[in-house]
Every structure is written in C-alpha cells, then in structure tokens.
Structure 1
Amino acid sequence: MATIDVFSYDVPAEYDFGYAQAIRSGELIHVSGQLSFDEAGELLHPGDFAAQLDQTHANMDRILDHYGATRKQIVSQTLYLVNLRQNAAATMEANLRYFGDHRPASTVLGIIELALPGQVVEISCVIDTKLPA
C-alpha cells in the first residue's frame, strides 16, 4: 500500500485555495507551482524576474530537503513566465545554474499574468525518489 506524505509551508494561501505545496504518493513527489514567497507567504521581489526566480528555486530546495531528495531526482518541470521573450535568456541561465548537468523534461509557458500582483514566475515539478540522488 502506497503512503501519502503532504508537505506544507503552513501559509494562508494553502488554506484559502485548499492545496498542498507537495504531495508524495509512492516514489513520486508532485510539487505545486512554487513562487517567490517568504515564511509568511508574502510575495518577495515584485516585478524582479531574476530575484523571483532565485527565491523560487530556493523554495523548491526546501521541498527537496523535506523529502530527502535532490535536484537530480526532478524528472520534469513546468515554468510559467510573464514576459517570456524578455525573460527567456535569464530563465535559461538560471535553469543551467540550478540543475548543472542534470536535464529534466521541461515545459516553458509564456503567460499574461500569475495569481499575485507583481508575480512573474512560477515553477511546478515532479520528483522521482527512485532515481539516484
């Protein structure tokens, strides 16, 4: 029987929208869209794409740490970007820095806006804990 492990930052949005930051079912961890927020759930760096991307990756690392996983176990990611063409180069550079020589499947979507005013990036992913760390 598979066990389910839910991860929460315990921020208001999780209760307001009724979701988990991540949920583990068996060997897979499904990570909800991560964004640039602090411990209280407040958006950091409104409108600053590079700073938001760095903080979003830091928040993803918190989830990886919770599950004892590494970036090398991320098998796919979906990135939602405001002003895709303007931010494409910064996204590519940050992605290479974050993953190093690991190459997960990746989808990048350019969108008009995200949930919070000033939010310009959101990233979700799937982690396979059976893969070598």
Structure 2
Amino acid sequence: MPNRAIIHSENAPKAIGTYSQAVKVSNTVYLSGQIPLVPETMTMVEGDFAAQAEQVFKNLSAVCTAADGSLQHIVKLNIYLTDLSHFPSINDVMAKYFREPYPARAAIGVKELPKGALVEADGIMVV
C-alpha cells in the first residue's frame, strides 16, 4: 500500500457513511463530496442555492486545510447540481473562493443529492 493517510477535520461535517472526508496518497488528496451541512449541527444550511454553495466551499476548504492545503491546491473539481439553471450562481460563488489559475472542473446535473441538497462538490488536490 502506498503512503496513505486519512484526513479528518472537525470544521467539516462528519462522514455520514462508509467513507473518509479525504484520503491523502503522497502529495495528492482525494476529497470526498461535501454537501451544505453545517458541521456543528450536521443540519443543512438555511437559505437559497447560493447559501448552500457557500457552505459546500467552506466545508471543502476545512478539509483542504486539514490536509495542509487550500482550495487553491485543488486541480480537479466536480460539482453536482440538482438544477442546472444554477450554473451561473455556482460560478459567482466560486469566484469568491477561487482565483486564477482555476482548477479543471465538471458541472454535472443529477436527479437528487443526499439530504435534499441542491449542490455537492468533490475534488482532487495536490499539495
């Protein structure tokens, strides 16, 4: 087994299944999907799509920090949307959390997400 470490942050929602928040192999970190759960309460953030997207990036950021990185170290980002009409909004929210050069990204329309979330994101980070 290669050099592998399990990453955990108290500042991000606890894993609610058979997975880790992230796994680091050498200098690559595989970030599990984050939905807009508030870590302290494990309940969905209040508000509209933008509020949910903000919480998703806060959660991803906390896991990145626990892995000695930041959102700027993400090289591949996957975003899952239950309504693709939110595509412009996700770009607006991302602009608050990322700066150029931006990561490679996919925005994928899905039927539904855990706990009724409108958005989820996962990624790969290199530190």
Bigger Rg, structure 1 or 2: 1
- Which residue is equivalent to 2:6? 6
- Which residue is equivalent to 1:69? 69
Provide TM-score, normalisation by structure 2.
0.87
Once residues 12 and 71 of structure 1 are traced to their aligned partners in structure 2, the CA distance between those partners, rounded to angstroms, is: 20
- Which residue is equivalent to 1:124? 122
Identical amino acids, percent of aligned pairs: 23
**Secondary structure of 2:44 counterpart:** coil
Structure 2 contact 60–71 (Cα < 8 Å) conserved? no
Once residues 102 and 83 of structure 2 are traced to their aligned partners in structure 1, the CA distance between those partners, rounded to angstroms, is: 24
**Secondary structure of 1:95 counterpart:** helix
Provide TM-score, normalisation by structure 1.
0.83
AA aligned opposite 1:45: E
User: Mind listing any 5+ residue stretches in structure 1 that lack a counterpart?
Assistant: none
User: Mind listing any 5+ residue stretches in structure 2 that lack a counterpart?
Assistant: none
Q: How many residues align?
A: 123
Q: 1:94 to 1:80 in 2, by over 3 A?
A: same
AA aligned opposite 2:79: L
- Runs of 4+ in structure 1 deviating by more than 6 angstroms, as ranges, are none
Aligned alpha-carbon RMSD (Å): 1.8
